[in-house]
Structure 1
Amino acid sequence: MLNKRISLIALGMLSATQAMANDQAESKGFVEDSSLKVLLRNAYINRDYKDGRADKAEWGQAAIGTFSSGFTQGTVGVGVDAFGLYALRLDGGKGRTGAQGIDFFKKGDSGNAADDLSKGGAAVKFRVSSTTLTYGDQMPALPVLSYDNSRLLPESYTGTLITSKEIKGLELNAGRFTAESRKSAEGRDSGGLKSINVLGGSYQFTEQFKAALYASDVEDVLKKQYVNANYVFPIDKDQSLTLDFNGYRTKLDDSYVRESGATGDDNKIWSLAATFATGPHSFTLAHQRSTGDSNLGYAYGGYQKGQGRVGDGGNTIYLANSYWSDFNAEDERSWQLGYGLDFTAFGVPGLSYNFAYVRGDNITTSTSEGGTEREIFNQFKYVVQSGPAKDLSVKLRSSILRVSQKSSEYNVSGNEVRVFVDYPINIF
């Protein structure tokens, strides 16, 4: 059914003749609008577990090159996108690699992590008016299929994606992907994805109000729907209150329930965040709640090959209370108090700080009810504003996560530190 819907909406997108938007008419040409960028990334993650299991840490240096051509001129524009990725392991291994949540370098059959890895991909794209069809290797960023770029190398997917912006403020997306490249391994389908169909869009109703609705179908795994509503209340010149609602509903396929050993197949999870911004300060209060009969809670991300997970992208969790823990267990309720500070007002442009305290309770596992967890999150980020190192960023992040004994089947206590240094270079 979703395949038919995607075909129908794709036909509608490609045949649209709205006069309100026509990006293709503004095309300067294949070469003239081309860009080549290289991101140099040095990344380190350390996890100090508190339940007796071995600590894990990975450190690596990556080079991420991306090329995006312009579109040829004419009614139908044609272009090409491509990327090349390389990563070098710097930590030497010694049994500290292999944490599922870090996943810089996948362990091989020998049990050792690779010393380095490299891969690339390319896609051809076609544009009519303000509707683009892209086929090939891509990095989609949609609420129901969002690639993970929060580790050393990014994930990527192979398939077709149509994006239409024919009407001002409205973006429609429809796609089908049949392969997933794991961020820690070489190969176009190292993630083992069978297929995923995605469909949805977002609309900017007014300058203050925006909403989105999406759906996906991961073959033999689950069906998922997503809704978002975001409203910004201007209060004063430098004050505002933002309300942001996000919600997912997932329904596991019967075959996946049997193979994974899950109990139940349904989950609903939502979050509502209120952020008050005044000058350089922001204050956030958020609540998140998971309901349903699935002991997996809100299922997302991971890889079907080797992990038996969903395969819809490591960032497919557009929820308020997602830090080291996602606070997405069965029946879990969580609250967040957050604070942000922009140091520009204090004479240090480019420096920012974020803090969050999140507490979850009412966690259900196969052996207990009423479990709890809590996390303290801190992050400093600095972006160089000028000079030869302009746009170089340094991000230092830490999390302290404590999980009750009743919740040990769901999560694990520990201290985490992340250090990321990103240096983007625009070649042309």
Structure 2
Amino acid sequence: MSSTPLARAIALAALGASIAVPSLAQAEFLKDSKVSLSLRNFYYDNDNRDPYTGSAPTTPDGYDQREWAQAFRADYISGFTEGTVGFGLDVQGLLALHLDGGKGHHPDSNSFIPSDSDRSAVGAWNRMGATAKARFSKSELRYGNTLMPSLPVIQSNDSRVLPQAYEGGMVTSKEIDNVVFSAGQLSHVISRASSNYTSLSVSGGTRGSNQFRFAGADWKVNKELTLQYYYANLENYYDQHFAGLTHVYPISDNQSFKTDLRYFKSGDDGKNGQSGYFFSNNGGYAKNANEVDNTTWSAMFTYSLGGHALMLGHQRVSDDGGFVWLNQGSVTGASGGNEGNGGSDFYLFTNAMVNQFARAGEQSTFGQYSYDFAKVGIPGLKASIAYISGDNIKDDPTRTTDGVGGDHKEWERDERIDYVFQEGALKGFGVTLRHGTYRGYTGAANADTDQTRLIFNYTLQLM
């Protein structure tokens, strides 16, 4: 089990505070507290169809990754003490057990189960953390190492056995009606397949940064229209501006048309491109090697009718370099061991199950059809199928296998079905089955892959 000095300090401070506050404040602190235990059983099958292509393993071990794990997550979410400023504390403990993987089906570096010193899968990995919080009026400050932000410039990932989490501080304010302000500074991250916190980086970066700052706002102009602006900076790597617009036009009681526009402008910062502060440009072309220089925009339109939803969209990545987002690069953990892939999400529609479609010059067209079976009397059952096609991908000039330049293409098809039991002894028990098929060009950063995930989720509310 790994608990950082920050977590221990927060726990001791909270203990001291609970002794000092009046009994009434303690009562409010406890009265609004919640305790839950979440269980996740996860089977992961990644079938590399072309194991010698791109970043796929080049030794027999790990051609086809098949692994199975069970996770336990305990959360204590406190209330706030009474007074002008209310204080609280959230504590989280996580444990994951490797159930099976099969000999030869565990790549040394992966995002599902961490590797031991002999390159086999570890039997178990765990962590414990805490976040202190304070509330004043309609503003809330959080500081700790269990932060899971979901903002346009930073997206925490929860698509494996354990969730990704960040260490640092965040402020959320709703003092102005219809406007939500968010700001913060993060210093470390723990990946989905790790027990150790690491510095922050980007894909390809071999040196860490301990300063990621962000600020922005969501303005709900009216019932139908929301505008967004955010700024982010990862020291010595990149600056990023984001602007977004979401509009939902209600056609009738059971029909609507949604427009979602997103624009990112990213540039280099500080030592980017020097002394290991590299950016891999997602395995693609860069006008200036190892540097961030990108503009990406996307537009998505969704027509909904009853339980049906049809989404179509388009995305363009500029020619000078790939889209950039916060990740862990090649930075090793505190123990120096293999920490696998950080696996951060990013706020684009092409953040698909297998691939990202975010290389320099890439133009992607995508669509999805989904259906909510509650409309035909089966609440809790949902299904979807999505397809993304990307072309005009600029080549990495260092490649020699397929030449320089060219109009490279790739595509992905994803299917998903979810069911959550609505009543009875299994009420709240969820089942998710996902399948993704990716095919790219010779020399692509990703190998041709067929991927299957079977996930069971259940949360017990203990208090």
Normalised by the size of structure 1, how large is the TM-score?
0.87
Residue 193 and residue 29 in structure 1: after superposition, are their counterparts in 2 closer, same or farther (change >3 A)?
farther
Aligned length, in residue pairs: 395
The counterpart of 2:261, out of the listed 245, 248, 268, is 245
Counterparts of residues 367-386 of structure 1 (less than 5 Å)? 367-386=404-423
Note the alpha carbon deviations across 1:291-333, whole angstroms, 9 max, x for none.
0412x444443445149xxx99744411122212111111000
SS of equivalent to 2:273: helix
Counterpart amino acid of 1:375?
Answer: E
CA distance in 2, matches of 1:237, 1:92: 49
Task: Give CA-to-partner distance per residue, 1:404-428, whole Å, 9 cap, x none.
Answer: 22xx333321111111111011111
In the other structure, the counterpart of 1:80 is 89
Higher RCO structure (Cα 8 Å, ≥6 apart): 2
Aligned to 1:287: 314
Distance in 1 (alpha carbons) for counterparts of 2:427 and 2:167? 33
Aligned-residue CA RMSD in angstroms?
2.2
SS of corresponding position for 2:272: helix
The code of the aligned residue for 1:414 comes to T
Contact 1:269 1:298 in 2 (8 A): no
Query: Deviations for 1:350-378, whole angstroms, at most 9, x for unmatched residues?
Result: 11111111111000121332100111111
Counterpart position of 2:348: 319
In the TM superposition, what is the alpha-carbon distance from 1:388 to its structure 2 partner?
Answer: 2.2
Change (3 A) 1:314 1:200: farther
Q: Decide which moves more: 417-426 or 86-95.
A: 86-95
Give the drift of 1:52: 2.8
Moved more, 76-85 or 257-266: 257-266
Distance across 2 between alignment mates of 1:99 and 1:215? 36
Out of 174, 177, 191, the residue aligned to residue 183 of structure 2 is 174
Q: For residue 268 of structure 1, what is the aligned residue in structure 2?
A: 295
Shift in alpha-carbon separation, 1:193–1:184, aligned structure 2, 3 A: farther
Aligned residue for 1:7? Answer: none
What SS does the corresponding residue of 1:388 show, helix, strand or coil? coil
Aligned partner of 2:217 among 177, 195, 201: 201
Q: Is the 8 A contact 2:319 2:394 kept in 1?
A: no
How do 1:42-191 and structure 2 match up within 5 A? Answer: 42-53=41-52, 54-92=63-101, 94-98=103-107, 103-137=111-145, 138-189=147-198
Distance, in Å, in 2 between the alignment partners of 1:402 and 1:283 is: 24
Residues 61 and 255 from structure 1, CA distance in 2 versus in 1: closer, same or farther, beyond 3 angstroms? same
Q: How far apart are 1:389 and its partner, in Å?
A: 1.7
Q: In terms of mean alpha carbon deviation, does 411-420 or 238-247 score higher?
A: 411-420
Q: Which amino acid aligns with 1:279?
A: G
Q: 2:40 corresponds to which residue?
A: 41
The aligned counterpart of 1:426 is 461
Residue 7 (structure 2) aligns with: none
Q: What is the alpha-carbon distance in structure 1 between the residues aligned to residue 142 and residue 383 of structure 2?
A: 37
Q: Among the aligned pairs, what percent are the same residue?
A: 31
> Given the two structures, how large is their TM-score scaled by the length of structure 2?
0.81
Deviates more, 1:144-153 or 1:316-325: 316-325
- Matched residue of 1:31: which SS? helix
Q: Within the alignment, does 1:414 sit opposite 2:449 as a pair?
A: yes
CA distance in 2, matches of 1:104, 1:41: 13
User: Which has the higher mean CA deviation after the structures are superposed, 233-242 or 167-176?
Assistant: 167-176
Gaps of 5+ in 1: 1-26
How has the CA–CA distance of structure 1 residues 363 and 225 changed in structure 2, closer, same or farther, with 3 Å as cutoff? Answer: same
Question: Quick one: distance in 2 between partners of 1:129 and 1:148?
Answer: 30
Q: Are positions 1:399 and 2:447 aligned together?
A: no
Name the CA distance, whole Å, in 2 between partners of 1:292 and 1:300.
20
Structure 1 position 248, deviation (Å): 1.9
